[in-house]
A and B are shown apart, each in its own frame.
Chain A
Amino acid sequence: MQSTTAHTDHAVAHHTDPGFWRSYIFSTDHKIIGIQYGVTALIFLLFGFGLMMLMRWQIAYPGSPIPFFGALLEKSLGDVASGGIMSSDLYNAFGAMHGTIMVFLAVVPLAFAAFGNYVVPLQIGAVDMAYPRINMVSYQSYVIGGVIMMVSFFIPGGAAQAGWTSYSPLATSLSTQGQTFWIIGMVFLITSSLLGAVNFIATIIQLRAPGMTWMRLPFFVWAQFVTAFLLLLAFPPLEAAAVMQLMDKLAGTSFFLPTGLAVGSGALAEVSGGGSPLLWQHLFWFLGHPEVYVLILPALGIVCEIIANNTRKPIWGYKSLVYSVLAVGFLSFIVWAHHMYLTGMGTAISTFFQTTTMIISIPSVVILTCLFISLWGGSIRINTPMLFALGFLPMFGIGGLTGLPLGLNYSDIHLHDTYYVIAHFHYVVAPGTIFGLMAGIYFWYPKATGRFMNEFWGRVHFWLSLVFMNAIFQPMFVQGMAGMLRRMVDGGVNYSLAKVGQDAIGGLSDQMIGLNSVISIAAWCLGLAQIPFIINFFWSLTHGKKVESDNPWDSTTLEWQTPTPPPHGNFATAPHVYRGPYEYSVPGESKDFSPQNQPV
């Protein structure tokens, strides 16, 4: 057959050494692309955190020059940081970009693209992704989007300042072109996600090894599968919204600009009007809420793998996990307007979204409960990945449960836009998702490199991170319930009792204002606590303890039944799957783990 010859040529081409550029920069191998995504995303993660550490200085000590970094900011960005003091414009830009970078450039690429690319094809027994070249383009599109976002810091007027949510008309009326950069950057990032999502779904449906039935898929693959659908279907409406906002900005349309809009001096804006600011919010949150689950589901998948592996017994309620993750995926499309209770969209709509929001908490709790019960009666093996996975459970639990008062529209009236909200979603994403991702890094590092990361420094990294994460976010709940609003450049000083008078309702006590510096110090300490991780990550590449087998954690899933690190094409012999994903401690077996490709 003619197609065979074409394929043979293809295979031969890969056996010749493709050279540095094709191997590491323009690679089509899913493992290299996974690592590219991972390293790029970790750099963005550090950068996004850096922005916040600088903002925390301004919040704790408003109006005083930032030590050392202040001079650096003034030199690179000019007037917005004159005298090393963070201006409100710069504060707004950093705030908007912190959110954008963390969500779209750091956590999603790390959770979905990096781990997904590296692990999913291995776990389903595939030779690569279904579309390797599209995979490469997806990564390149992500890098281009990231570069556009970075460049926007240096244009006149600076980066986007309207928050990561970019609400119109604010986003449209600001004088900086940063918003235009933001939109165009987002279009590239959306393209990247879209290509990735199509690729993952097709790979999981088409390239499962023989015998890898749906109910034998590791839970991580299920989580990625649902995540891919969320990205596929939720991102396009944001793309549509971005196109419309771009039209508002550049072509003078009024999609999101109402009749009678006044900006700045109070004069009416020169626009045709007739648009709807609420429309932007609907379209944004139609992405925004599924995006929350895009952030969390891959981490849940990672944690599930690690817990099964380190309790040495099957995960409790595998089917419940699968059906729950499907339910979460579906429901996440009909809860978006719980971000909009205070917009005046009407009580009937609020009630609907309040109801769906309460319903979605059920499958979420089922997932978390399954993971907790899985610990019961296991002979738990403690190591760094397991510590992070165990840390994830209560942290994600706090994040989830504190979301309930925000999902009920009466209590949301008080809590909306306060530090309580910040604390809530950071508990989900920072000690939640990021702990899950760290667990994944420590867990799969030996497969990717052939060496372990250092155990002692891994534990130091975990315990310090756990302590400081909580020291940062617990006080924010207190501040938020006392009524401290988010996004204030002065850390709330203008609402202090000293400013507004002792009898004023809603004034912030010295104690509340004082928590600002406690939080900031904890944030900087958290920054220091990442140094052991960074050093460990690079040092272990060459000095880490070597793995003694291809399956150092005695795991059952297929990614460990490959050579270490897996070569191009992954498996030495094409795997055939005979078992479910978590057959640990099967009675009557000689070992306490039965790999999926071991015949029954």
Chain B
Amino acid sequence: MDIPYVVHPRPDTGLYNAKLGIWLFLASEVMLFGALFSSYILLRIGAPAGTWPHGLLNIPIGTVNTLVLITSSITVVLAWASLKLNQFDRFKKFQAATLILALMFVGIKSFEYHDKFTHYEVVMMDGNVADGHLVEKTDEHVTLKHVQVFPLGEGNAWDHQGEHKEELRIERSQIKKMENYGPWHNTYLAIYFTLTALHALHVIGGAIVIGYLWGPGSKMWKTDPERFTNRIEVSGLFWHFVDLVWIFLFPVLYLL
């Protein structure tokens, strides 16, 4: 029993099965991320005026990560084109570059996450708020660096850019409430972490598939080169989609 159009396109649709399948899957992915983007819009317009955070993320780092991902989109196309030109070695090189870029993206993203998880907002007994990055945390005291101090109720840290202390040591007895900038801190961070983590999972998933097809899966080149090329095309389509999501995420979360 042979299922038709596994490798060659059906004449009237112009598609082989897997290519149609990935497009359908991507349509559902559009709905998934679309729902999250819609939620972002709803939460943002629902927030009281002036409370939506700005400048919490590092724009240069985000820009670098955007470039990393765009470059990987190019290498993934070149890898597929190399197979079409029957140049397996070039495919190997380009796809290796894709994998390294994917790894770089995830690495930079982890650095950004770490930065947020060590960023603390400390409400003190004297009615002030200290906002900075953690240096040290013991049972007696907490030390923060690059600290902004401002009275509670007078906006948030991002309203007080500029004046800051290099380092501040706060006794535990002076602390009323202390919370880092995790997803629990406010709805902006909640949607930031949810969207970017879901996106990162897509990057990792895509990299695993691309890695498999680069490593053990590439044996198929010898037995069924056309089908192998199709697989690279399909995984490449997914990879482009993942890039595209980031192209939307970057301005929405970093710039706007």
Residues of A at the B interface (CB closer than 8 Å) are 2-3, 5-7, 10-11, 14, 127-128, 130-132, 134, 194, 197-199, 201-202, 205-207, 232-237, 239-241, 243-244, 247, 251-255, 271-272, 274-276, 279, 282-283, 286, 568-569
Contacts and interface: CB of A to CB of B under 8 A. Distances in A.
A207 B4 contact: yes
A509 B225 CA distance: 77
A236 B225 contact: no
Given A130-B17, A202-B17, A240 B28 contact: no
A274 B46 CA distance: 8
B43 A2 contact: no
B182 A274 contact: no
B35 interface: yes
Q: Is the interface of B mostly helix, strand, loop or mixed?
A: helix
A235 B28 contact: yes
Given A128-B3, A237-B31, A272 B224 contact: no
B198 interface: yes
Given A131-B21, A206-B13, A253 B35 contact: no
B12 to A, nearest CB: 9
A332 to B, nearest CB: 14
Contact of A128 (B1, B43, B182): B1
A206 B10 contact: yes
B128 interface: no
Contacts of B256: none
B83 interface: no
B194 A244 contact: yes
Nearest to A14: B1
B24 A247 contact: no
Q: Which 5 A-B pairs have the closest CB atoms?
A: A252-B184, A237-B35, A569-B1, A236-B32, A240-B35
A272 B185 contact: yes
A272 B226 CA distance: 54
A254 B191 CA distance: 10
Contacts of A253: 183-184, 187, 190, 193-194
A438 to B, nearest CB: 31
A236 B193 CA distance: 19
A10 B223 CA distance: 13
Contacts of B103: none
A252 B190 CA distance: 9
Given A236-B31, A240-B35, A243-B194, A206 B184 contact: no
Given A207-B3, A247-B194, A275-B43, A252 B31 contact: no
Contacts of A252: 182-184
Contacts of A6: 223-224, 227
B58 interface: no
B213 interface: no
B21 A198 contact: yes
A2 B224 contact: yes
A132 B6 CA distance: 12
B46 A276 contact: yes
5 contacts: A130-B3, A235-B28, A236-B32, A244-B190, A279-B43
Contact of A255 (B29, B34, B43): B43
B20 A206 contact: yes
Nearest to A270: B184
B224 A205 contact: no
Given A236-B31, A240-B32, A272 B187 contact: yes
Contact of B35 (A2, A5, A236, A272): A236
Contact of B184 (A11, A198, A243, A251): A251
B125 interface: no
B85 interface: no
Contacts of B223: 2, 5-6
